[in-house]
Each structure stands twice: as structure tokens, then as C-alpha cells.
Amino acid sequence: MNTTEGPSTTAVGWSALSDGLGPATERDAFERVVMQWTGRDMAYHHANGTTGLEFAWFCWQTARDAERERCARICDGIGATHTGEARRLQGRHATHAAGRREGANECAAEIRRA
């Protein structure tokens, strides 16, 4: 049992199973959870033909995407609030509210893009 090895800090990855799965930091986080849960590193799982890790990676990505969408919807709601505020106000206050709306909308777009 190999519990001392951990994910690499290189962008290349450290196991054939996980190479090319995504950004190194996200892949490393996934591999740390696999190590924590199973007590074995990814090299062990690859060498021994452990099944289900591709499905686990899919579940990881699906949960991440759902959380990002939840956060982006919060920003959408903030933007919608400021849209109504900008319509009700005149002059500089309307400009300020519009700026806040644009900022919230940009935040939502960046969360979705990440």
C-alpha cells in the first residue's frame, strides 16, 4: 500500500490514468481525494485496473459545474436587482446602479467560464 505519494506539482501529471483530465490543480485535487478515500495513489489504481475512476472524474466535474452555475445564478440575481434600481433612479444614481448590474453580470460570466 502506497500512501506516501501524492499528486505531482508538474503540469504533466503523475499517472497515465489522470494525464489530460484537466488543469493540473483540479486534477491534483481529484487525485488527493482518490488517495484519501482509497488509501492508494493513482499509479496503483492504474496498474491494478481499478474500475470506476473515470465515472468518479465525471461526477467530480458535474458537481463542480453545478456549483459554479449555482454561484453564477446568485450573481444573476444581484444583477437583476440593480437593473430595476437603475430604471427607477435618475442621473448619477442610475449610472451607479447600472455599474453594479454590469459588475454582477460580469461576475456571473466569469464563474461560468472558469
Average pLDDT over residues 46-52: 87
Asked if the model's pLDDT at residue 53 lies above 60, the reply is yes
Asked if the model's pLDDT at residue 44 lies above 70, the reply is yes
Distance CA 43, CA 15 (A): 5
Quick one: pLDDT band at residue 38, thresholds 50, 70, 90? very high
pLDDT, tens digit, 9 for 90 and up, residues 20-33: 555 568 888 898 99
* CB of 69 closer than 8 Å to CB of 77: no
pLDDT, tens digit, 9 for 90 and up, residues 56-103: 989 999 998 899 888 888 888 887 777 666 666 666 666 767 777 788
Three-state SS for 103? helix
pLDDT of residue 21: 54
**If we measure between CA atoms, which residue out of 54, 31, 57, 55 comes closest to residue 44?**
31
CB neighbours of 81 closer than 8 A, spacing ≥ 6? none
pLDDT of residue 37: 92
pLDDT of residue 108: 85
HSE-CB of 73 using CA atoms within 13 angstroms: 6
First to last CA, the chain: 36
